[in-house]
Structure 1
Amino acid sequence: MKYFDYAATTPLDPEAAEIFVKASTEFFGNSSSLHDIGGQSAALLEHCREEMAQLLGVDKQGLFFTSGGSEGNFLAIEALLSAPKKQGKHIIAGMAEHSSVHGILKRLEKDGYSITYLPFNSSGVIDPENLLNAIKPDTILAAIQHVNSEIGTIQPIEQLAKICTEHDIHFHTDMVQSFGKIDVRNITPLVGSFSFSGHKIYGPKGIGGAYVNPKIGWNPFFPGTSHEKGFRPGTVNVPAIAAMTTAAQKITGRIQENARRFVELRHAILNALQPISERVHVYQAEGDSQLPNIIGMRISGIEGQWMMLECNRLGFAISTGSACQIGMLTPAKVTQALGLTIDESKEFIRISFGHPTTMNEIEALGAGILKIANEFAVSSVI
């Protein structure tokens, strides 16, 4: 099976796996325990925090480890809401945010908050003017994903964060798809909070983190919590943190190399689909506003679920969107943000590749999709 779903999850890096086992057996103490074994674990934890803070370009005092990106989004947003810059109950969010953010916002609506959702333009990007026009006197928070996980478009976070700062609005961004793929250090100092995840960067599943600017005097969502300075309950998963840190060091060290190769692979798969180009619709932005290793597209007349199953039959693993959205009856949020019809939304598929992906695999996938599309066209006529 050839894997093309790296936006959903990545295989664990072998070196990170070795670190996980080593930390699990040699640094197994509870990092909050006061004895020497606990102290060794605590020292490793703080070393990882310092290293991750450097990779992210932030103050380590604001960096907290969580069970992943979803929990990071939840706790970071709640932290910002606990210390608003002004009174109000209005929130602005991207229409295509991750399901974890939409879940939080739905609950907040029940608590009396009002939410304004911003759509994408035709290139899959949020227009900063739309954010500016959506601001009300009682707007206290904006939550906009850095890189969309389904089409790979990169939002203009610098401009969006600047607008929020000028209007005394906290700004949260989900960096789960961007960290490790692009250098985020020019953006992280501009936001109030962000989240990231280990399993998107060849680290373990069940580990991630969130950053909240230390200047923000947030209150714990779970009172009485002692771990991670009260940010979250539960014994800290030091082995997974050590493994994630190792994976983060490796992937950030090859960002430029990967980006060049991913551009080549992207061009190759799109060129392979040229024979059916009139039926292929790729949702993407230009130049630096597009992450090259995520391709969100549809082929007119072919449902994405059917295309995914046929690709699977031929030995190719692709997806119909975010794995956190699969199984829901509603269309992926990105298709709504793009203004697609229900029928067009059902045709959506996602191809994403990673460090192990080869040109031969890309060429084989292109040939496989062409075969499926041509067979479908013939069967439709018959």
Structure 2
Amino acid sequence: MIYLDYNATTPIAKEVVAEMKPFLEEYFGNPSSLHQYGVKTKLAVEKARSRIAQLINCDSSEIIFTSGGTESNNFAIKGYVLANKHQGNHIITSSIEHPAVFEVCEYLSKNGFSITYLPVDNYGMVNPEDLEKAIKPSTILISIMHANNEVGSIQPIVELTKIAKKHNITFHTDAAQSLGKTEVNVKDLGVDLLSIAGHKLYAPKGIGALYIKNGINLEKLIHGADHEQNLRAGTENVLEIAGLGKACEIAAKNLGKNIAHYAKTRDYLYELLQKSLPQIKLNGDLQHSLPNTLSISFPKVEANTLISRLENVAASAGAACHSESIDVSAVLEAMKVPIDYAMGTIRFSTGR
């Protein structure tokens, strides 16, 4: 079986399993306990926090652990706008966000907030001029993903954050797909909030993190004891936190090598597909996208049918075809991919 769905999830790296194993078999203490059992696990949590901070170039104190990318996005967006609603009620995002951002914005739109969804071009890119035009006096948050999960387009975050800073607006980016596949440096990007998902990074499912720039105030979503700097209640998931920390250490160490490998395998796959099926359509721009992601549209064929016949290949469909209709992804719709092509879109994503 050939696995080409690394954007959906990654296997847990062997080194990550080894890092986690002692906390499954031996070190079980509560990190909040003051005795040696607690101290051992507390040190593991802080070691992982430091490793994540080193990967994205921030202070350890700016990292909060969560249950994954979805919680990180919810906490960043809801937490910020609820804590700062006295300053305004307008949020700007893009039309190609992951549901973990889109659905949060939809929820907020029913609870007193106004949402603007920026369009994208045919390559899935946000135009900074559109962001400038969308800003209002009531705008308090901009949330634009770093890289798209379906077509891989990497947004011009640096240009977008410069606009946000000019207007003194806080900026959040969902980096679930980009971390470990391209450089993610919060200081260079200029972001105030950044979401991380462990299982996209060769760490386990059910663990993530949120970068919160010093000085940014969020309202808590989960109430209880004062864990995670009194920002997220609940005893820390030490086992998976240790795994995420190790995965981030590996990603930092091998980033250049991995990027080159991802691009080589992706480009080779595209070359083979082009030679065999010249009528296919590439979605996105390979020069401005994740090095591992290839979104291909096959004309006048249903993606589910194609995937069902790829018996030895694992990939994802960009459209769900039913008996009476074809549900094309919001990303492909926003990019204005013709329906004859959109219905036959498959995302191939390579890995290490």
Q: Is the 8 A contact 1:56 1:188 kept in 2?
A: no
1:370 aligned partner: none
1:286 Cα deviation (Å)? Answer: 4.9
2:348 aligned partner: 351
Asked if residue 100 in structure 1 is aligned to residue 97 in structure 2, the reply is no
Q: Is the 8 A contact 1:193 1:213 kept in 2?
A: yes
Structure 2 gap segments, 5+ residues each: none
From the superposition, tell whether residues 189 and 319 of structure 1 become closer, same or farther in structure 2 (CA, over 3 Å). closer
2:71 aligned partner: 71
1:359 aligned partner: none
2:216 aligned partner: 216
Matches within 5 A, 1:162-311: 162-185=162-185, 187=187, 190-275=190-275, 277-287=277-287, 289-311=288-310
Deviation sequence 1:257-306 (CA, Å, 0-9, x none): 1222222222211221234554211112252x211210112111111111
Q: Is the 8 A contact 2:157 2:189 kept in 1?
A: no
SS of residue paired to 1:354: coil
1:42 aligned partner: 42
Name the stretch that deviates more: 179-188 or 91-100: 179-188
CA distance in 1, matches of 2:318, 2:195: 20
CA distance in 2, matches of 1:104, 1:96: 14
Q: Is the 8 A contact 2:51 2:246 kept in 1?
A: no
From the superposition, tell whether residues 87 and 199 of structure 1 become closer, same or farther in structure 2 (CA, over 3 Å). same
Q: Quick one: which amino acid aligns to residue 305 of structure 2?
A: W
CA distance in 1, matches of 2:110, 2:241: 35
Q: Quick one: which amino acid aligns to residue 301 of structure 1?
A: K
1:251 Cα deviation (Å)? Answer: 2.2
1:147 Cα deviation (Å)? Answer: 0.6
Matches within 5 A, 1:10-25: 10-25=10-25
From the superposition, tell whether residues 44 and 274 of structure 1 become closer, same or farther in structure 2 (CA, over 3 Å). closer
Q: Is the 8 A contact 1:125 1:285 kept in 2?
A: no
- Misfit runs of 4+, over 6 Å: 325-329
CA distance in 2, matches of 1:256, 1:191: 23
1:378 aligned partner: none
1:364 aligned partner: none
Q: Quick one: which amino acid aligns to residue 7 of structure 2?
A: A
From the superposition, tell whether residues 167 and 326 of structure 1 become closer, same or farther in structure 2 (CA, over 3 Å). farther
SS of residue paired to 1:140: strand
Aligned residue-pair number: 350
Asked if residue 6 in structure 1 is aligned to residue 11 in structure 2, the reply is no
CA distance in 1, matches of 2:330, 2:225: 34
Q: Is the 8 A contact 1:95 1:336 kept in 2?
A: no
1:326 Cα deviation (Å)? Answer: 11
1:135 aligned partner: 135
CA distance in 2, matches of 1:259, 1:92: 31
CA distance in 2, matches of 1:70, 1:92: 18
CA distance in 2, matches of 1:140, 1:284: 30
1:174 Cα deviation (Å)? Answer: 0.3
Deviation sequence 1:108-158 (CA, Å, 0-9, x none): 011021111112212221111111111112111111100101111100111
1:332 aligned partner: 329
TM-score, normalisation: structure 2: 0.93
CA distance in 2, matches of 1:43, 1:326: 49
CA distance in 1, matches of 2:284, 2:86: 37
TM-score, normalisation: structure 1: 0.86
From the superposition, tell whether residues 70 and 105 of structure 1 become closer, same or farther in structure 2 (CA, over 3 Å). same
Name the stretch that deviates more: 265-274 or 76-85: 76-85
Structure 1 gap segments, 5+ residues each: 356-382
2:315 aligned partner: 318
Q: Quick one: which amino acid aligns to residue 299 of structure 1?
A: F
SS of residue paired to 1:149: coil
CA distance in 2, matches of 1:208, 1:186: 16
Q: Quick one: which amino acid aligns to residue 307 of structure 1?
A: L
Deviation sequence 1:64-103 (CA, Å, 0-9, x none): 0111111111111123213439721111111111111111
Name the stretch that deviates more: 335-344 or 156-165: 335-344
Q: Is the 8 A contact 2:282 2:297 kept in 1?
A: yes
1:330 Cα deviation (Å)? Answer: 4.2
